[in-house]
Structure 1
């Protein structure tokens, strides 16, 4: 409970806290941030710092805790990681100038999606905030990263009251750190799916009014200083406007500072990119390894050879958003090819780009008034590289490489070079990051500041000269001039010589062994020194802010340059990956073919040890070979072949060279994957349910332009059910919309091999193995034709399963082969008799053996009255043969 009679300080604290109920308030008191009441209890637990109390002797002491302001970033990071919000409350006037209580205000609110400080951000990952809205006909999404100024939006037509799956999947694809939803979504049953899907992300609910299109439009036009949103292409996109306006409203409410670095919004159409849903992204291990969740062992780990933070973020976007526009794909491929053809310039570019700091985040922080001296110097050093950089790239033809696609070139380069010169002239190279302690501005930049510096330096030398002069004039050998915070400068004389001091000395303090004095002249000089020092610190801060404001006015130019450098860095990185890994430039064809010769898995080929990677070729088209059924034992490499085809298509459409001797790729609108068996037990979903959900997504959304990757459909249920589903799915995809869809289907259901005889565009392939002495060697080669053997027992032996189990498995298999409908798991291994023939255990139990219904139908159809004795014997023999299959 709060004190019955509040102190002025607590009254101020509670008034400020009232404005940020959902955040932990960091209340600045001198060199510390203090927290009180519930905030203190919560923060102390998370941060593992001491929880104390104010007015401990009161019946109800107030819980409190504190931390040094210089270490605040470390503690804020921990709170943000736990999903908390932090409201930073600063002293906005100097204590010396305050009349009574120092004035304090919240200067910013830090939330998971509203972070500017580099120490709290991942260098190579965008920190996205996503807002989702709905209007009568559409659902909208806006995505903003205040640390870079990125602001994008899209909308999808709604066919029911729920948010379309495509938009929800887009939200998941962006991996936001925070999501904004209208208050009405809290209890709306139709929004239960979106609440559940985003439950792992921090959700903030805003007043429904914030999402109203008319209110949102006004906020956006104010932000961009325009009369309408026509110039951004969203004037007639109400769902986009609704979501984007809510995002801007939240930025303004939390940042409480200039946000002019968010100077545009870019709409995009989901159909402009290949769709790779969140599950397929995980299945193909595009950004993280599926087992360790780290980048190592993923596609990004192989392809990311960027050297700037901006490039590191952009290449992730290229991977997650492959293009479907053939011309744009070819532009990227030509840029890589041109750079590979100029190895000297390529190397020089890489070296120059290493000197470029994160222009996006530097420009954004400076624009919002949070950039310090080190940020300014980093910007200066980065911009100083531009003249050399543009001299290197001027001979290239590709606009991605030469910068001709940027607004304002070449004036932009020249203007930014002048900005670097301004910073270099003003800001000291040894400036510290603290802005209120001086030592920020170079000598010679400001005459007024130089004068104050001279007074400060001359004043201090005057003190030293005065001490020497006073010793000579008075003959007091023990005389020393000293300083403390109580008296300022004073003269100290030993007790033995204190009676000999001149009359104009004014006694200030008597100690056991000494006397302390001041003089009028000394105090006059002291005032001059102190005033000059204080004025100098204040003036340096004023000058710094003025220079920072001049830089902030060029934020748009800085961000335009940042976007160009990011793309240049991605291209040079992909060129480097292509050279190092012997990738080939893919051809983007118009004849709906995927033709990959000697293709490789870009990740697996780097990770395998102890054996040579075996490349494989794949051809898929819409006329002869649209669906490939791949059989073969586990561990042979079926899944690798499936994934490498998907990754090769994806790499080609993101504009990268591919791991193959040659490749001709048609544009694919979507890659679907059903691979692995990842239970989602926490959500009550079994392996089979996950399989069926992914399969349903495929058959419901695939088109003739899609690529489908299926690995072992039906494993999660009984053999007969699983085989039936796998068969039906294969047929359905072959016949889809009368055109079919390109599909790679790995299976152990050998009965599916019969589909090649039934469906004209299905072909059988298998991963070749070599067998000898009941052992197998994986040859890894994909060859035509199916195999009706899974070599499960041989693979089990390779995996280290004990011989007793292997022998028992052989006996069970042998029994099952002779009695397919009633396998006996309790059969013991048969003892071999001397000279007996070895039992053949190479077959597989048939799933199409005759059932009772089959036999009953045969008997019903036969006309016994018309049968001869020979016919009856033949019929009985046929029945016996079917039973023994």
Structure 2
């Protein structure tokens, strides 16, 4: 810009831009937001709008582009979605009343983690900004959804220089849209693992002072207006304080306004919840489908029967943070049982909840000064539903439902009821979303406003009457009174009749087909009308702001009520899912056992087509049935059984009914999974490496109270290596801390069934298969005992493998399995297929799955009457059996 002539406007733009170098500056000019220089080039490409230039005739014209300010939300959403930040710069003065350059300043910075507009947000998901901090031997995270007021924090010991993996995994579980890190993390190789973990997400680096513990604590105390953080249980959580303080610093820098709706911070200990790491969450397809990454085919898709946006966000939290407190779990289960027994009340509750808008985001948006009249109307309509909702909820015994858990319930209902009455009295039901063009306040609410409305209406009525009168007086049939922003009110007459206008008409403008005139009397009336209109608009906005301020003063109450309603919605949704899907109430036992009778996979049973879903029962304990070793062919259903047990435990501990005939479950502290082998090639990790990393995580962190799900470990390497690893892992889990850990272990390595004879708490099971005419039928039933057959070739046939390949595979297998045969089997001769003839008889040397001699020997043995057979007959029979066996 140094070679360009800087106009006062461009000097102002560049001065403002200097403070927001990492953001695209939306510079307000009238009805448009303009962007210049590099911002314009970048924005034009992303938004697919025309890139023009300012001062086109200069040697170095300034690149520019612009968007209408009324349509800004859609454009901002696109920029944010492409990883940009947007600094919104508004005109702080009325251009018409200002001489020279209008004062402008940035009023907010919109980043991926700082979004308030519900049109830019997913209503079913939180939009978290997360900060990560390290102080001496402790590391912590804090995260905030500014659109809902949710503000939480946790920390863990960290005696090493690196941030602990468990904390990084917790951060990934939160799924933040933007991460704040100290600037010292940016290039330090010690923190490379953090940068890699958050790759693809928006990372913002702040100065180290933003994370200073003392300054951070001071910010928190000022924010919550308290003398200490003891009331939140965070006084000595130094890493948490550092991270939370950094978030407040970032809010001050980007939002430039008070955040009344942030009235608390909630510390939590990860040990108080059932831990499901990020990989296990993906493996079990709790929130996203592994194949498509969408919601269909997931547990959340089956369980989420909520009807409010608040409820749909909260159920995700319940799924990611199942409880380990038995009493809290039982309370939720009792609530669901109570709802399912009161179907009529349940339907009324659903009806009332459907009329409740997103109180969390409405309250937060209004508190941040961005709410309009329509937001207040939505808030009013929601608050007016509360008495009807609580009337139905009061019929339940559970305090989670009847509101007795809601502190100061009666006071909150009264306060919010008064607030709804105020909004109803003041704000017009048909109010526009614009705040400076009038039409916001009801008639009769404010005497001064009513007077201005009367003047405005009378003036407009005078204009309408004047047109009729002037037509009659002048006999000019083409005469019309019109209005535009340039001339105000004027009289328009056709060109043909313009010479016949009265002398007191003052010519104002000549058009091709018409002439425009004004009169002194009309200008006086116009001044009265327009002044009244301007005063009215200003007064309406002032009244609206007063009403909005009263709403802001009740923000904490609104959010408390929102939290309660979200909980009710999740409970009713789980009750609805239980009723529709035939779930049962699990028993939470104190025996540390898992007993599931006729359990089902909650997702697979909804998706399965063409066959009946076969339920399976599972019994696990720490005495005899601690590790269940499950064998069976591919496609038989091993993985389904494994996953359904894990999901049943998860559902029970989140407080949901479960897909089973009966279930009695002990508390599990962690669910580990090693299921499926997903390559991470972009990170340079092979399938086997990922597999071993997941397995290492299990053997290093599992406890006696954990549940381990292992599906085919070791298959990513050679057979003998893989089998050895699988065997060693099974033994290690059995012997873990001399107590072992409950494990479901599916494998193709049939040699592992020998472990049952070596380890007392390992039991063999297999998925039953029916053999028929060299084919197999999957029975999907889990039965006791191991199997030494994999049926790989039969599964290949089911998959559509050509007969010639199947036959050759059998031949090769037969050769490999012959004792002491180390030669490569010779391929079968190519067969020519002849029309009308059956397939040639199988080669006698092939390994038969269904041996006729074995079947005939079995029948001979079954016919023996041991009590009547003579010694000679027995010898002869034994000889016959021997002859058959060697044929």
Give me the TM-score of the superposition, normalised by structure 2. Answer: 0.93
Shift of 1:649: 0.4
In the alignment, is the contact (CA less than 8 A) between 1:599 and 1:659 conserved in 2?
A: yes
Q: Is the 8 A contact 2:774 2:849 kept in 1?
A: no
Cα gap change, 1:766 to 1:476, in 2 (>3 Å): closer
Contact 2:774–2:794 (8 Å) recurs in 1: yes
Partner residue in 2 for 1:455? 455
Query: Could you say what secondary structure the match of 1:410 adopts?
Result: helix
Matched ranges for 1:11-26 at <5 A: 11-26=11-26
**Offset of 1:414 from its aligned partner?**
1.9
SS of residue matched to 2:409: coil
Aligned to 1:245: 245
TM superposition shift of 1:474: 5.7
Match of 2:369 in 1: 369
Partners of 1:37 and 1:331 in 2: how far apart?
60
Instruction: Please list, as runs of the form range in 1=range in 2, the aligned pairs for 1:85-104 lying within 5 A after superposition.
Output: 85-104=85-104
How far apart are 1:518 and its partner, in Å?
A: 3.5
Shift in alpha-carbon separation, 1:733–1:100, aligned structure 2, 3 A: same
Is the alpha carbon distance of 1:803 and 1:269 closer, same or farther for their aligned partners in structure 2, counting shifts above 3 Å? Answer: same
Distance 1:527 1:724, change over 3 A: same
Segment of structure 1 superposing worse, 520-529 or 128-137:
520-529
2:848 matches 1:841:
yes
* Cα offset, 1:58, TM superposition: 1.4
> What is the CA distance between 1:488 and its match in structure 2?
2.8
1:86-111 Cα shifts (integer Å, max 9, x gaps): 00111111112222111111011000
- Count residues with an aligned counterpart: 844
Match of 1:813 in 2: 813
Q: CA–CA distance in 2 between the matches of 1:521 and 1:57?
A: 47
Aligned match of 1:590:
590
Q: Which moved more, 1:425-434 or 1:297-306?
A: 425-434
Structure 2 contact 814–845 (Cα < 8 Å) conserved: no
1:505 is displaced (CA, Å) by 4.5
* SS at structure 2 position matched to 1:294: coil
- The answer for the alignment partner of 2:338 in structure 1 is 338
The secondary structure found in structure 2 opposite 1:609 is coil
1:391 — aligned with what?
391
Greater shift in the superposed pair: 453-462 or 266-275 = 453-462
**Residue 476 to residue 325, structure 1, CA distance change in 2 (3 Å):** closer
Deviation by residue 1:623-650 (Cα, 9 ceiling, x = unmatched): 0110000000000000000000000000
1:773 equivalent in structure 2: 773
* Corresponding residue for residue 202 of structure 1: 202
Q: Compared with structure 1, are the counterparts of its residues 629 and 478 closer, same or farther at alpha carbon in structure 2 (3 Å cutoff)?
A: closer
Q: 2:148: which partner in 1? A: 148
Deviation at 1:351, TM superposition (A): 1.0
The aligned counterpart of 1:873 is: none
Contact 2:810 2:847 survives alignment (8 Å): no
- TM superposition score normalised by structure 1: 0.93
Aligned pair in 2 of structure 1 residues 804, 556: CA closer, same or farther (>3 Å)? same
Tell me how far 1:467 sits from its aligned partner: 3.4
> Residue 355 of structure 2: SS of its match in structure 1?
coil
Number of the residue aligned with 1:261:
261
Match of 2:178 in 1: 178
Q: For 1:812-850, what per-residue CA distance to the aligned partner results, in whole angstroms no more than 9, with x for missing partners?
A: 110111146736255326999989857443499xxxxxx
Q: Is the 8 A contact 1:83 1:112 kept in 2?
A: yes
Greater Cα shift, 115-124 or 422-431: 422-431
Structure-2 residue corresponding to 1:283? 283
Q: Show the counterpart of 1:666.
A: 666
The question of 1:694 aligning with 2:694 is answered yes
Gaps of 5+ in 1: 845-885
Partner Cα separation in structure 1 for residue 841 and residue 214 of structure 2: 92
Distance 1:686 1:512, change over 3 A: closer
**Contact persistence 1:788–1:843 (CA under 8 A):** no
What residue number does 1:755 align with? 755
Q: Which residue of the partner structure matches residue 870 of structure 1? A: none
In 1: Cα distance, 2:263 partner to 2:375 partner: 21
Greater alpha carbon shift after TM alignment, 119-128 vs 834-843: 834-843
Runs of 4+ with deviation above 3 angstroms: 1-4, 467-487, 490-519, 829-844
Classify 1:521/1:616 alpha carbon distance in 2 versus 1 (closer, same or farther; 3 Å). same
Deviation digits for residues 46-75 of structure 1, max 9, x if unmatched? 111111111112111111111111111111
Give 3-state SS (helix, strand or coil) of 2:161's partner.
coil
Cα deviation digits, residues 211-264 of structure 1 (max 9, x gap)? 010010011111111111111111111001000000111111111112110110
Question: How has the CA–CA distance of structure 1 residues 425 and 840 changed in structure 2, closer, same or farther, with 3 Å as cutoff?
Answer: same
Shift of 1:399: 1.4
CA contact (8 A) 1:374 1:431 kept: yes
Contact 2:136 2:159 in 1 (8 A): no
Task: Provide structure 2 residue ranges, at least 5 long, that are not aligned to the other structure.
Answer: 832-838, 852-887
